[in-house]
Amino acid sequence: MTEYQDDEIIKVENLKKSFGTNEILKGISFSVKKGEVLGIIGPSGSGKSTILRCISQLEDVSGGSISICKLPLVTDGLYSDKKLRHEIILKSGLVFQNFNLFPHYSVLQNVVEPQIRVLKKTKQEAKEKAIEILNRIGLGERLVNYPCELSGGQQQRVSIARALAMEPQVLLFDEPTSALDPELTGEILAVIKELAQEKMTMVVVTHEMAFARDISTKIIFMDGGVIVEQGEPSEVINRPKEDRTKAFLSRFSNV
């Protein structure tokens, strides 16, 4: 039986994922406590995004265990029943690389409709929540605009607002700035930093090393489907112990 610490939000044990004969995750284990920000870094193809897709049920695992808020999503490769899986999926919110907004919905509708359909809120309740969050992240004047009328940075902020409106226990960010021009990256990083200061539990897959160091309470460096090194950000990024970590970080001049 899995033992949980009181404040654990995510617990991953010996997580494995293969596509055919290609083993993407080779027995990954870690946990995230309430209020922590876990930064996951590493080269393309190392399995970073696959972890998030397994946690958010976009990919089925090949083996191992995942629990969210002490609820078992999958145990030793066997999934819980459909009802519990649905309860678990509401505990986390995933912010994608490419926004995934509904193009035919306004900014306000993109944040309101999921609350009505999934959380069964009234239209008025959902609207009030949406406006509150959109004002908070600086989009209060864009409520009637459509995604095509927004910059990439604004679209990503709508995506974050939509995730927050679902009242998750943990937010998962999959390379949230990778689809943005460099000048728009800062506004998204600022929003995530503010959430971190508010002690929102988060897992952030990112290629922004300085950002990962500044925002995270813990860093995981992955390569080849395994965790090569993990620890406090100042240790992993500024004083890495493993040769693979050192080689990866040597590519970046801003850390």
Q: What is the tens place of the pLDDT at every residue in 108-162? A: 999 999 999 999 999 999 999 999 999 999 999 999 999 999 999 999 999 999 9
Query: Which segments within the chain are labelled E, that is strand?
Result: 8-19, 22-33, 37-41, 63-68, 71-75, 78-79, 92-95, 170-174, 202-205, 218-223, 226-231
Cα 16 off chain centre by: 19
Picking from 104, 185, 184, the residue whose alpha carbon sits closest to that of residue 145 is 104
Tokens of 40: 């996951």
Take residue 166 and report the two structure tokens written for it: 């679902």
Q: How far apart are CA 192 and CA 118, in angstroms?
A: 24
Residue 128, both tokens: 């009030």
State how far Cα 174 lies from the chain centre.
5
Closest CA to 107 of 161, 65, 64: 161
Return averaged pLDDT per consecutive 10 residues of the chain, 255 residues in all: 73 96 96 96 94 96 97 97 95 88 96 96 97 95 96 93 96 88 83 93 93 94 96 94 95 73
**pLDDT of 185:** 84
With tokens 């406590």, the residue in question is 33
- Alpha carbon 219 to its chain centroid, in Å, reads 14
CB contact at 8 A, 154 and 142? yes
Residue 136: count other Cβ atoms within 10 Å of its Cβ.
Answer: 13
Can you tell me which residue has the tokens 């290629």?
Answer: 207
What global pTM score does this model have? 0.92
Q: Cβ distance 208 to 185 under 8 Å? A: yes
State the pLDDT at residue 98: 80
| Torsions phi, psi for 174 (to 5 deg) | -105, 95
In one letter, which amino acid is 125? E
* Nearest CA-CA partner of 134 in 107, 103, 115: 107
DSSP 132-149: HHHHHTT-TT-TT--GGG
